[in-house]
Amino acid sequence: MPQPRNRLGVITSGSLIEGLTARLEARESVEDMRVGKFVVIQGEKHEFFSMVTDVALEATNQKILTDPPDGDPFIHAVLAGTSTYGTLALMPRLMLPSDQSETMLPVKTIPRHFSPVFEASEDDFIRVFGREGGNLFEIGRPLDMDVPVCLNLARLVERSNGIFGKSGTGKSFLTRLLLCGVVYANVASNLIFDMHNEYGWETRSEGGGFVKGLSQLFGSDVLVYTIDPRGGHSYDGEIVIGLDQIEIDDVITLDQELNLGATATESSYILHNRFKKDWLRELLAMDGERLKEFAEQSGTHLGAISALKRKLSQLHKLPFIRETTDFSSIDRLINALSAGRHVVLEFGANGSSLAYMLVANLVTRRIHRRWIERTEHYLQSKNEADKPRPLMITIEEAHKFLNPQTARQTIFGTIARELRKYSVTLLVVDQRPSSIDPEVMSQLGTRVTALLNDDKDIDAVFTGVSGGTGLKSVLASLDTKQQALVLGHAVPMPVVVRTRPYDDALYAAVQRRPSRFAAPALSLVPPPSAQEEMDELFPD
């Protein structure tokens, strides 16, 4: 039986573009109204599921405002609801046909004057956002209700997505929550470039306790690779990179980290034309005489080629770089993703910006090539068994790869623009969305955004979003912790939620599904003994 709704007021004015204005009932307190609250407008043929975007005070006679009454409560009560009243600015988001068997529609019209406005009920939220299960995963709950708001994970992984928020708003926990849903629903493989070692194993929460990592929650479904195997955890593989594996495109994106000049790209291609894949190793092996000889033979400027060697020598100092090596470790990682597993690539103590960008670019470039080959083979064979598995790649500090200067050169910019053409998408995590190329921002399907204070960042979040103007005030009003605005492809309409806690209840929910893989890959470090596990669970 449908739940009764609480009537809040009636529609008095508005337009499809600017939104609607509702006058509050006299018994309703303006202080109970919140920006981000949801209401249902009862039209003649449809119900309009709408969001409160502003709250205002009005008066029928302006003289009352120029000569306000004193603090007498009786006078205030007499005026309230008649001479003075509150209004709500409403933005309709969905049209719900009266027949609940029909599908929801985008808003193409508005209700008539004096249409009643009701507080949205739990039944309304379930009708719009569905019940958790299958591909629907709870991301949080409305600010003033205790009913789940669900993301459609199958739609989420169809496009690239973003998680934004200023420092300290819980972006990492939002990211971990979203990844839990994708892994649990098994809608795509995940590759997480874990710059700060937060996703594979347990990590300290801001409250001082510890929260579980993906490997602990999902067992052998999640593999943990590393470029720094010196940590205390077990790992499923170590990534090492040979100088002969580094391509020019991998180096070009490091211009800020290595302070590369304008001639660096041209000099690199001259070296590549001469030495092919050994161009970097040969450059770093050159002494003064060989540099001079090469400059004379190739017609390059000696100062430019010497400066390039000096700056690129920083790569050789990275502990995971070798003179030469094969692709076996990266191939195993890619094979695991192709088979349906999920990989967290930790950086350990080597989490510098230089190391992070080099490894992320190099690994992702080879993954993208593999998925292109698989896609082209599938298009020829038409065999569903040849279709590549959807893959979502998570990158933090995304503006380093996707800023306007480098987005067109990096593999990440290519992936963001190609969307699902080759079944590879991104989950970009950043605190400065204004630093990301606007073309890339416009391609993001779903955006989960915690509090942002900078106007440029707020504007960037709504790049390519119709009706984003009314949502800016909603975003600016969020609390610092555990609140987010969710909008885009994976939800029927924008919604503000109290984000789902990353706690024991979530652990229990996602661990009900048994692992699909019998055992993890070869570990570099022995797993903890039974006694060590007991000591960890029950410390002194």
pLDDT at 255: 82
DSSP H or E run through 86: strand 84-97
CA distance 28 to 9: 8
Does the pLDDT of residue 535 top 50, yes or no? Answer: no
Instruction: Report residue 388's pLDDT band, with 50, 70 and 90 as the boundaries.
Output: very high
Instruction: Report residue 515's pLDDT band, with 50, 70 and 90 as the boundaries.
Output: low
CA angle 501, 504, 505 (to 5 degrees): 70
| DSSP, res 501 | P
pLDDT at 71: 66
Give percent above pLDDT 70 in the chain. Answer: 89
Does the pLDDT of residue 428 top 60, yes or no? Answer: yes
pLDDT at 514: 58
Does the pLDDT of residue 526 top 60, yes or no? Answer: no
Instruction: Report residue 74's pLDDT band, with 50, 70 and 90 as the boundaries.
Output: low
* Average pLDDT along the chain: 85
Does the pLDDT of residue 524 top 50, yes or no? Answer: no
Determine phi and psi for 254, rounding to 5 degrees.
-100, 20
Question: Of 247-256, 432-441, 483-492, which gets the smallest average pLDDT?
Answer: 247-256
Q: Within 13 A of 15's CA, how many CA atoms are on the CB side?
A: 3
Does the pLDDT of residue 533 top 70, yes or no? Answer: no
pLDDT at 232: 64
pLDDT at 170: 85
pLDDT digits (tens, 9 = 90+) for 351-378: 788 899 899 989 998 999 999 999 999 9
CA angle 267, 272, 277 (to 5 degrees): 140
Q: What's the whole-model pTM score?
A: 0.84
Instruction: Report residue 69's pLDDT band, with 50, 70 and 90 as the boundaries.
Output: confident
465: amino acid identity, one letter: V
Average pLDDT over residues 97-111: 82
Question: Of 9-23, 482-496, 526-540, which gets the smallest average pLDDT?
Answer: 526-540
Average pLDDT over residues 268-281: 90
pLDDT at 513: 62
399: amino acid identity, one letter: H
CB burial string 397-414: b at 16+ within 10 A, e below: bbbbbbbeebbebbbbbb
Average pLDDT over residues 9-20: 93
Does the pLDDT of residue 538 top 50, yes or no? Answer: no
pLDDT at 525: 41
3-state class (DSSP) for residue 143: coil
Domain residue spans of the chain: 7-125, 151-240+325-537, 244-316
Task: List, in sequence order, every beta strand (DSSP E) within 159-307.
Answer: 161-164, 189-194, 203-204, 210-211, 222-226, 237-238, 241-242
Instruction: Report residue 3's pLDDT band, with 50, 70 and 90 as the boundaries.
Output: low
Out of 3.40.50.300, 3.90.1510.10, 1.20.1740.10, 3.90.1200.10, the CATH code matching 151-240+325-537 is: 3.40.50.300
pLDDT at 447: 94
Instruction: Report residue 81's pLDDT band, with 50, 70 and 90 as the boundaries.
Output: low
Residue 41 near residue 157, CB atoms below 8 Å? no
Question: Of 363-372, 458-467, 488-497, which gets the smallest average pLDDT?
Answer: 458-467
Instruction: Find, among 276, 168, 172, the residue nearest to 214 by Cα.
Output: 172
* Residue 40 neighbours by CB distance under 10 Å: 23
pLDDT at 434: 93
Does the pLDDT of residue 512 top 70, yes or no? Answer: no
Instruction: Report residue 479's pLDDT band, with 50, 70 and 90 as the boundaries.
Output: confident
Instruction: Report residue 529's pLDDT band, with 50, 70 and 90 as the boundaries.
Output: very low
